[in-house]
Amino acid sequence: MTGDGPIRRIVIVGGGTAGWMAAAALGRILGGTVAITLVESEEIGTVGVGEATIPPIQAFNALLGIDEADFIRATQGSFKLGIEFIDWRREGERYFHPFGVYGPDIGPVPFEALWRQRALAGDAAPLEEYSICALAARQGAFMRPQPGKTPLAQIGYAYHFDAGLYARLLRHHAEGAGAIRREGRVVGVALAPSGCAIDAIMLADGTRIAADLFIDCSGFRSLLIGEALGVGFEDWSHWLPNDRAVAVPSAASGPLLPYTRSTARKAGWQWRIPLQHRTGNGYVYASDHLSDDEAAATLMASLDGPALAEPRLLRFRTGRRARFWTGNCVALGLASGFMEPLESTSIHLVQAGIARLIEMLPGRAIEPADVRRYNRLMTAEFESIRDFLILHFKATERRDTAYWRRNADMPVPEALADRIAIYRRTGRVFREADDLFTKTSWLAVMDGQGLRVGGYDPIADMIPENEARAMLDRIRAVTAIAAGRMPSHDRFIATHDCTAAGEHRRPSSGPEG
């Protein structure tokens, strides 16, 4: 069914994070006018990982009317100010990719132009010193942004959470909005006579479920859009060769850090995600370069608390569906494509897909022009994230293993090559229309990965040299003072109603927030 009638029934296949996010949001927006059924199979289960996010998730929870403290409590979550990258540029070095912004622009002069001019002259501090999020992270501190003109207004944050508990919370909201859950295994798909749309899905118990719109949230199998409708897969593993991960939770230890940690390893990288009740850990690697046993052994040897389970192996392929929406089927989540969790973007892509889908169903009917537009926008979003991820592997000084040499030597997509060339010449970074990542992000990673810069944007010369130096000093001092006023992350959690009942963590010292 394309363009020939209103949508009255939506079927979502899959009850992982993607499926329940879709059911909750569509229920909230379309509920009452559209019947929403979600089919999932307990026998098959969910991928069960996905614990770190980026700031737009705040807007998604707000759309559902989820209170932040309730959310943190229900998911045993914590706050995230960015990502610490260890050993990525070369072994022994670290940098921080913060949310929020670095210092303010001075009239028409972007902060990064001013900073670059002074850095090349040898009198600027490292970038992190101008970021409230980076400084707070270093101190293990957190608070929400504060109104006013101080750096505390620039705090950007996201969350770490237990993906299983988040799915449970979303289910509660989806069912509250009228979505119906159906337990069952999809064993067949009946196509329309054209072969380009779906009439119904068949369950193992013989039930046939028809709908006007199908949302494929079936995970890596991509049951509807891939298997039934035959939409191809664009493989990006030549740029992002990691194809496996081994994951294990460990006991929470030490203060609750307000950031994700990513440590580069011989043939990939390892994540550390702090939650209230445990720490999530995983090693993402390329199976061409490392055996599963070696990956698991490296992971288990580097945990900072006792393992709480056996390590679990996950296989994946990096890339995307050639189309995200075809006929009356839209793919979300792993069914639509996957890029490794280096910048915590998968759940965001689910959210972006849902937001666009809602935007494109104003008449509650499928219009081919909307379908094409949806595909264009989602393609641009996937590609811009892909390029940002590739940057981390390409711009490295590591040459210690065949894996890192291969990454450093690979040709990259033209748009990324252009960004790198512009940056090298002038230190300029920019955010294009479809970019999820801001100038702060591009600058943090380009600088952190050690890309050398030959010049600066001459707009910085609008500010006399001694004034420029004084301004940078002031921004740095004010940022440090503001960070010093923030409470520890533990204390913030304990004093803002974010602790799960009976699971109180002992707050470490620091002022009240």
- Cβ(198)–Cβ(229) under 8 Å? yes
Q: What is the DSSP letter of 202?
A: E
- Cβ(292)–Cβ(248) under 8 Å? no
Phi, psi of 381 (to 5 degrees): -65, -45
Q: Which of 76, 117, 218, 318 binds ligand FAD (CB under 6 A)?
A: 218
Q: Which of 9, 94, 138, 221 binds ligand FAD (CB under 6 A)?
A: 221
- Cβ(118)–Cβ(108) under 8 Å? no
186-191: strand order across its sheet: 186-191, 198-203, 208-210
Q: Does 51 bind ligand FAD (CB under 6 A)?
A: yes
Residue 305 neighbours by CB under 8 Å, 6+ apart: 250, 251, 252, 253, 279
Shortest approach of ligand FAD to residue 243 CB, angstroms?
10
Shortest approach of ligand FAD to residue 135 CB, angstroms?
24
Shortest approach of ligand FAD to residue 184 CB, angstroms?
6
Phi, psi of 352 (to 5 degrees): -65, -40
Q: Does 316 bind ligand FAD (CB under 6 A)?
A: yes
Q: Which of 35, 44, 63, 196 binds ligand FAD (CB under 6 A)?
A: 44
For residues 185 and 205, give the distance between their C-alpha atoms in angstroms, rounded to a whole number: 8
Helix axes 368-394, 346-359, angle to 10 degrees: 160
Shortest approach of ligand FAD to residue 162 CB, angstroms?
11
Which residue's CB is nearer to ligand FAD, number 23 or number 472?
A: 23
Q: Does 381 bind ligand FAD (CB under 6 A)?
A: no
Q: Which of residues 95-124 bind ligand FAD (CB under 6 A)?
A: none
Q: Does 188 bind ligand FAD (CB under 6 A)?
A: no
Shortest approach of ligand FAD to residue 268 CB, angstroms?
11
Query: Rg of the Cα trace of the chain?
Result: 23
Q: Which of 333, 337, 448, 513 binds ligand FAD (CB under 6 A)?
A: 333
Q: Does 49 bind ligand FAD (CB under 6 A)?
A: yes
Tokens of 12: 């979502």
Q: Which of residues 151-180 bind ligand FAD (CB under 6 A)?
A: 163
Binding pattern to ligand FAD, positions 19-38, x when CB under 6 A?
x-------------------
Residue 373 neighbours by CB under 8 Å, 6+ apart: 360
Q: Does 15 bind ligand FAD (CB under 6 A)?
A: yes
Shortest approach of ligand FAD to residue 21 CB, angstroms?
8
Q: Does 311 bind ligand FAD (CB under 6 A)?
A: no
Shortest approach of ligand FAD to residue 492 CB, angstroms?
22
Which residue's CB is nearer to ligand FAD, number 106 or number 339?
A: 339
Q: Is position 266 annotated as part of the catalytic site?
A: no
Q: Which of residues 252-291 bind ligand FAD (CB under 6 A)?
A: 282
Residue among 277, 265, 276, 189 at smallest CA distance from 226 = 189
- Cβ(259)–Cβ(80) under 8 Å? yes
Which residue's CB is nearer to ligand FAD, number 249 or number 341?
A: 341
Element (H, E) at 279: strand 279-285
Burial class of residue 239 in the structure, from the number of CB atoms within 10 Å of its CB (0-12 exposed, 13-18 middle, 19+ buried): buried
Which residue's CB is nearer to ligand FAD, number 271 or number 403?
A: 271
Q: Which of 27, 50, 427, 487 binds ligand FAD (CB under 6 A)?
A: 50
DSSP string, 159-200: EE--HHHHHHHHHHHHHHTT-EEEE--EEEEEEPTTSSSEEE
Q: Is 148 helix (H, G, I), strand (E, B) or coil?
A: coil
Q: Which of 52, 101, 152, 303 binds ligand FAD (CB under 6 A)?
A: 52
Residue ranges in contact with ligand FAD by CB under 6 A = 13-19, 39-41, 44-47, 49-53, 163, 185-186, 217-219, 221, 223, 245, 247, 282, 314, 316, 333-335, 341, 344, 346-347
Q: Give the residue numbers marked as catalytic.
A: 80
